[in-house]
Structure 1
């Protein structure tokens, strides 16, 4: 398994030089998040991830979770690592101080999540799902629920889950069968079965708080009839301690391709006691708080695993000797040259590097928007941040996981035959990453959400909120002496993005299938254009630093070289996505379904 080193220099580049997080924190009143404090948090988080979590990554994959008569045991070291995480106060880093949290900006929590996911994705699922459950309870729970559940989840004594999927339905939540029957004491009897529940049962905390979608007896049909309930594994005692066991059980765990050390459970509710969150029949709105949190977290997994794979690949490429460079020996004292001298290996490494660093910029920009949506000074600023988040969330989830999977595949390819061997650890990163385009709403669903709901559904309003940012940037940098050609390229694509949207919208008015036919290529087109914008922002900073005579010239020159590679080798993929998105639905829908059979 490759050694993991947190990319702190690149993280600080984005925080301090590209996005000016110190000024952003000051603007939202996050006075405790000083540069020194942020630096200390990142350093300590890096140590925990490098020294505690990373060494458990391969062993966790080998051991997997064990299931015995409803009891799930996590791999050796996982429980102890979680206890250390809790002891360090990491669970409450960005949590509300009213419930025991430290109240630091949400973006800081996301930065720590990046390091956790890159060092041990499976382990990171346990606190990750808990943070998502906490966000839903904080946004929609009653004060009593917050005092009981958030306080203990912030402490790390209790963990959380999200229970949506059932065996007969995945994305189509309107047809769930789990039922909630009102009880005389104001609680509800929850009956049903949920599948694919990450961290649904384990041995790392004293209680597990399930957030469960269910339908009341008189609920309207479809998604309008879904309610959300808190269903704890153990009922809270009068003093908030762990009380009697609830009628919640784990029926089995799944045997999976990847993330094997994360318990993916079948959870059964047999008239279990549950408590309504928010309004009856408004549960999907409540759950979207958690789902959006999870979708951003899943997008981060693409970045995390791509980063881990790159670190392994670039080290191997510098050591593995194979053949001589086409332009003559580069290591004449050795029997062959390291493979990093070969153009095709460079192509793979630069593709990984360009995606990782571009996706990190997208993720950090999105993290900054989360802070602004929660705490910006004016309602107008908060609404603007919410609109941008609505547009970018499906792109983060889908584009970052598609390109993250490509990066992990390339990392394995750099190793050649050794990449296919388990002991090297590269194939695990591919297996772990493969679920990311699938869960928390498949990437096809994210594409439909982006094009159908966010872009066309807002009549282009949400899209214009971002394309205006790009347009203003391109106008300001149109005559930049080193970057003007790339700025012009981005400006053209940004304009083309609007034209493509209009063309699909007009076609969809005649045939709604046009949205589904174009959506995935539309999302990927959007992702490539967005990363081009962030690469130019990074390149602009790098040019300024070099012009000022920075003593880190190599770091900034690498940014410029990677930006150049991105524009010349990766951004041209937009042409193929454009052509496919404009091709229409006929070539997809004209073949009768029965003709697909052999």
Structure 2
């Protein structure tokens, strides 16, 4: 059976030492998250993930969710009891505003908890994650009455939430959607249409589900400019806040899918369901993007989470599996063969995954802190800089971290040989579960196009220039430090590749947009590698300083070796990405469609 142990030591190192979270105590909620409070929260989150959620992961995969004749859905055995513990522990409201019953603690802590839960049981964690995304949209764009009616219950976990965007003919291009909204005399709307791929669309974990639904009001403009957002509860809410009559929304079927079987992915049928407009008419994309941006960061964490749990199991297997002899002579002479962890290629594979995991986790903490600054700081300049960072990094994180999360799950499965292909070992579930993260909340090719087409030129390139300046300044400051040269020199080279790639796009994309399309994914991966290199350089500097101060822990020495591996074996890939994107779109676009 698979194992999982939450990476508490690594998270603590990032929060306390690398990013020095206590420096943010001037922001609301941060002073409440003192070192001892953080330690307690992280420790309890780890315990919940390891002892409650992880044992249900295979159960959920095998059992899946079941739809009944009355359109109700039951979740796998143990899910209701586990969700009850989530609610009783206040985990969904950890960083939610206090005025709605949340604890108001930093989002940075919530993302740490999210990683633990997604590693332990990704399908289960999605129920709460979607609720938080829907809650965020209501808080930003909902009316006071809507916020009062729905948000406290959702923050408490008593009710859950969903996002209803996709239709059978309409995924990325939401301007094509057909779900209609008919205005009623009392100000409400009647919503009719079919939505597909709706995660947590129907289940038995909570007595009410609050659906956020994109639809087109009768007479609205065609395309994306005519899309509005509505709140449509599964059950109507009585004036006293209790659950009332059933609304006209039901689960038509459960999708039969590759992975995340423990999450009920539903076809949702809206038949004159009563809904209320969120925000302005025909401005539904504004609310949708609040949900999507929340979700995209959560999905990026899923990529990391599946990579981490797959890595942990691959390491455990590699230490125990006896096969062949070391190239430099027997390492276990008392046994018939050596454990496979002695082999260089096994170590290369494991170190590649580990180097990704630790840099990705650093990037999550770094970006989560920016999110906290963007939402909590009183300084307009700080808020703007943090918002710039979030806009730039969200597609990079979602695209690269899920691409690599899946690739790493496959590589971890490879460590098992044939046993990795057998279900009882659990590795093939990690592969199947990780695969969806590359697809939903905007397929990764769309993330790359968003980065190149929208985020780079936004505000005259202000965000990307700030990133170049920050990384360049760090490299310059550390350039004379001999101990840092193994980190700074490769980082500077990679940064140069990213700057060249950015210049190439500026010169070649406007005149010929297909150049941008052909370059987008390579650019996104190049950008991510430079960012990961920056994370590794920052971690290495802190580790070196702590060692110089007398801390000789194995954790720190291992951190430095892993970082050097990344700089020697991973970050040089930036040169290949640069060469590919500079080749342009000619051969990509040359063949006629029928030649494929």
What TM-score results when the alignment is normalised by the length of structure 2? 0.98
Question: Quick check: 1:28–1:377 contact (8 Å CA) kept in 2?
Answer: no
Q: Equivalent residue for 1:312?
A: 313
Shift of residue 29 of structure 1? 5.3
TM-superposed CA distance for 1:227, in Å, is: 0.7
In 1, the alpha carbon distance for the partners of 2:29 and 2:167 equals 43
**More displaced stretch, 374-383 vs 124-133:** 374-383
Q: Is the 8 A contact 2:490 2:572 kept in 1?
A: no
Alignment of 1:206 with 2:207, yes or no, is yes
Q: Which residue number in structure 1 is paired with residue 359 of structure 2? A: 358
**Which residue is 2:2 aligned to?**
2
Equivalent residue runs for 1:455-470 within 5 Å: 455-470=456-471
Deviation sequence 1:208-259 (CA, Å, 0-9, x none): 0000011111212211111100000001011011011000011101111110
Is the CA contact 2:362–2:535 (under 8 Å) kept in the aligned structure 1? yes
Partners of 1:574 and 1:2 lie apart in 2 by 34
Distance 1:56 1:196 in 2: 23
Kept after mapping to 2: 8 A contact 1:310/1:349: yes
Note the C-alpha offset of 1:457.
Answer: 4.2
Counterparts of 1:244 and 1:447, CA distance in 2: 44
Q: Structure 1 CA distance, aligned partners of 2:425 and 2:532? A: 31
Q: Name the residue aligned to 1:91.
A: 92
Partner of 2:186: 185
CA–CA distance in 1 between the matches of 2:573 and 2:75?
42
Q: What CA deviation, in whole Å up to 9, does each residue of 1:78-103 have, x standing for no partner?
A: 01100111011112111111111111
SS at match of 2:263: coil
1:522-547 CA distance string (max 9 Å, x none):
00010111100100111111111111
- Tell me by how many angstroms 1:513 deviates: 1.0
Determine whether 1:332 maps to 2:333: yes
Is this contact kept in 1: 2:490–2:571, CA < 8 A? no
CA contact (8 A) 1:28 1:372 kept: no
**3-state secondary structure, aligned to 2:231:** strand
> Is 1:369 aligned to residue 348 of structure 2?
no
Which structure 2 residues correspond to residues 470-509 of structure 1 after superposition, within 5 A?
Answer: 470-509=471-510
Alignment gaps of 5+ in structure 2: none
Following superposition of structure 1 onto structure 2, how do residues 177-576 of structure 1 map, counting pairs within 5 Å?
177-552=178-553, 554-576=554-576
How far did residue 380 of structure 1 move?
A: 1.2
Matched, 1:587 2:587: yes
Give a deviation string over 1:539-563, Cα, whole Å, max 9, x none.
11111111112041x1111111111
Q: Per-residue CA shift, 1:13-63, capped at 9, x if unaligned? A: 101110011212444552211010011001111111111000000011000
CA contact (8 A) 2:452 2:516 kept: yes
Q: For residue 49 of structure 1, what is the aligned residue in structure 2?
A: 49
Alignment partners' CA distance in 2, 1:300 and 1:479: 35
Give the SS at the match of 1:281. coil
User: Using the alignment, how far apart are the partners of 1:41 and 1:457 within structure 2?
Assistant: 38
Find the aligned partners of 1:548 and 1:564 in 2 and give their Cα distance. 21
Q: Distance in 2 between matches of 1:556 and 1:534?
A: 15
- Per-residue deviation, residues 396-439 of structure 1 (Å, max 9, x unmatched): 10110111111111110111111111000011000000111111
| 1:34 to 2:34 alignment | yes
Greater CA drift, 433-442 or 214-223:
214-223
* Alpha-carbon distance in structure 2 between the residues aligned to 1:394 and 1:17: 27
- Residues 481-500 of structure 1 deviation map (CA, whole Å, 9 limit, x = unaligned): 11224312212322331221
Could you say which residue in structure 2 is the equivalent of 1:19?
19
- Aligned match of 1:165: 166
1: CA distance, partners of 2:142 / 2:29: 25
Partners of 1:420 and 1:426 within 8 A in 2: yes
Matched, 1:58 2:69: no
CA contact (8 A) 1:354 1:562 kept: yes
Give 1:517 deviation, angstroms.
Answer: 0.7
Shift of 1:574: 1.1
Q: What is the alpha-carbon distance in structure 2 between the residues aligned to residue 465 and residue 181 of structure 1? A: 46
Deviation (angstroms), 1:143: 1.1
Q: What whole-Å deviation, never above 9, does each CA across 1:285-328 have from its counterpart, x for those lacking one?
A: 11100100000010101100000001101111111111111111
Instruction: Give the count of matched residue pairs.
Output: 595
Would the aligned equivalents of 2:215 and 2:229 in 1 still touch at CA under 8 Å? yes
Q: For 1:362 and 1:208, how far apart are their aligned partners in 2?
A: 33
TM-score using structure 1 length: 0.98
Secondary structure of the corresponding residue to residue 134 of structure 1: helix
Q: Distance in 1 between matches of 2:29 and 2:442?
A: 34
Greater Cα shift, 216-225 or 26-35: 26-35
Give distance in 2, aligned partners of 1:226 and 1:177.
10
Q: Measure the CA separation in 2 of the matches of 1:408 and 1:579.
A: 27
Q: Please name the residue that 1:130 is paired with.
A: 131
CA distance in 2, matches of 1:564, 1:9: 20
3-state SS in 2 of match to 1:559:
helix
Offset at residue 473 of structure 1 (A): 0.6
C-alpha displacement of 1:171: 0.3
- CA distance in structure 1 between the aligned counterparts of 2:184 and 2:75, rounded to whole angstroms: 35
Aligned equivalents of 1:588, 1:468: Cα separation in 2: 33
Tell me how far apart the structure 2 counterparts of residues 458 and 513 of structure 1 sit (CA, whole Å): 22
